[in-house]
Amino acid sequence: MDDAEAEQQHVMGVLEPHFAPIISIFDDAMALYNSDVSPRARAEHDGRAAASAVYRHAWMGLQREFGEATGFHFGELRGLHYVNLRDLVVFRPKKVDANGRHVNSQTPQQKDFDRQRPLPGIPPAAIRVIIGYEPDVAFSKVERVIVRRPKGRWVSQIVTGGDVCSWIDITPVELPFTPGRRHTQ
């Protein structure tokens, strides 16, 4: 097992007891957005506005679900909201694309988070990940929930089977590369 696989196993092991509530939080956030925002208003929202609304519902859902739970600490660093789970994993909820990539302003702080660099208030040893929801094309439901280690190390998908939640490794063979940016020898 290489370092990336060991890291993935560790992170997913820390998160696994919380998979079911995390999936429910994203599903509920999407449902709340679609039920509480009028069809006319939704039609006028661009992708950023819709993602912002769902994000806010998800962030509040995380606080309701885990705010009093042992080991969960919510933090904010100059607009970067995160959840610290037992100083082992720090995660941010985000909308992601089919590759599990999040899109947001690439501030120096965001880059430092993604690159696992030290940030005030975030334990240096904690692995930073994105827990993302991938919406369907109509932005009406969550297609899947993904845990991604930024900067191309690995991607996992949380899966449900009846009452059981687990995860699978969906790391593409050429994860660091995207079409059009393929490195050649």
Task: Read off the pLDDT of residues 4-56 as tens digits, 9 standing for 90 and up.
Answer: 999 999 999 999 999 999 999 999 999 999 897 788 888 888 888 889 999 99
Is this model's pTM higher than 0.85 or not? yes
Residue 118 pLDDT more than 70? yes
64-68, 126-130, 149-153: range with lowest mean pLDDT: 149-153
90-107 pLDDT, tens digit each: 999 999 988 888 877 788
**Contact between 34 and 42 (Cβ < 8 Å):** yes
* Strand ranges across the sheet with 142-149: 72-77, 80-85, 89-95, 127-135, 142-149, 154-161, 164-169
Strand partners, 93: 131
134-174 pLDDT, tens digit each: 999 888 999 999 999 988 789 999 999 878 999 999 998 75
Tell me the C-alpha distance between 158 and 18, whole Å.
10
pLDDT at position 67 is 97
Amino acid at 2: D
Backbone angles phi, psi at 109, to 5 degrees: -65, -45
| Kind plus residue range of the DSSP H or E element containing 113 | helix 108-114
- Per-domain residue ranges of the chain: 3-169
pLDDT at position 174 is 56
Q: Which two tokens stand for residue 73?
A: 């600490």
